[in-house]
């Protein structure tokens, strides 16, 4: 009988050790998850800071252009240069303009329909962009409804 009591106490002690170990492992895992989340947030902040610093150069360029006494043609060339540089920066980050020939609901938002070839984009109100496979902004478009100008309904 004493042997069973000793075995039971040993089993209880082992169970308590295992429970303590499980609690420590759980705490370590929780700390790991928090650390990974903090690291991820820091990476996002660093990427945002880098992009904002790159964009500040464009703000400086616009402020210089607005405060200059340049002729309208010089001013326009300056703004076109800023525009080209900004497009180049965005493309270097992977931003791609979505094509707008044929309507695709995965890339376009149809704001209205009009007379024209069915499914053909007739007008682009706002360009759309993708970053890799992800749509960042849907293109806002007018889509042809399959009727031609002058067609009758019956």
Examine the domain organization and report whether 27 and 88 are in the same domain: yes
- Residue 144 belongs to domain spanning: 96-149
Confidence of residue 2 (pLDDT cuts 50, 70, 90): confident
Q: Is the pLDDT of residue 153 over 60?
A: no
Q: Look at residue 148 in the predicted model and tell me its pLDDT.
A: 81
Q: Are 114 and 46 in a shared domain?
A: no
Q: Is there a contact between 121 and 105 (Cβ–Cβ < 8 Å)?
A: no
Is the pLDDT score of 150 beyond 80? no
Give the chain's mean pLDDT.
93
For residue 134, give the H/E element and its range.
strand 134-137
Q: Which two tokens stand for residue 68?
A: 């200059």
What tens digit of pLDDT does each residue of 92-142 get?
999 999 999 999 999 999 999 999 999 999 999 999 999 999 999 999 999
pLDDT digits (tens, 9 = 90+) for 19-28: 999 999 999 9
pTM of this prediction? Answer: 0.69
Whether residue 128 sits in one domain with residue 80? no
**Whether 43 and 105 share a structural domain:** no
Asked if the structure places residue 78 within a domain, the reply is: yes
Q: Are residues 105 and 53 in the same domain?
A: no
List the alpha helices (DSSP H) in the chain: 2-67, 72-92
Q: Do residues 3 and 76 both lie within one domain? A: yes
Q: Is 10 domain-assigned?
A: yes
Report the pLDDT value the prediction gives residue 25, as an integer from 0 to 100: 97
pLDDT (tens digit per residue) in 49-84: 999 999 999 999 999 988 988 899 999 999 999 999
Residue 33 covered by a domain: yes
């Amino acid at each position: 009988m004493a042997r069973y009591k000793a075995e039971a106490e040993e089993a209880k002690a082992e169970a308590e050790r295992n429970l303590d170990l499980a609690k420590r492992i759980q705490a370590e895992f929780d700390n790991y998850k928090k650390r990974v989340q903090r690291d991820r947030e820091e990476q996002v902040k660093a990427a945002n800071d880098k992009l904002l610093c790159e964009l500040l150069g464009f703000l400086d360029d616009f402020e210089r252009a607005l405060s200059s006494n340049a002729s309208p043609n010089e001013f326009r060339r300056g703004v076109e240069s800023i525009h080209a540089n900004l497009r180049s920066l965005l493309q270097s980050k992977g931003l791609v303009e979505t094509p707008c020939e044929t309507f695709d609901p995965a890339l376009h938002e149809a704001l209205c329909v009009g007379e024209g070839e069915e499914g053909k984009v007739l007008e682009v109100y706002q360009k759309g962009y993708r970053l890799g496979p992800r749509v960042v902004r849907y293109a806002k478009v007018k889509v042809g409804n399959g009727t031609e100008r002058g067609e009758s309904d019956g």
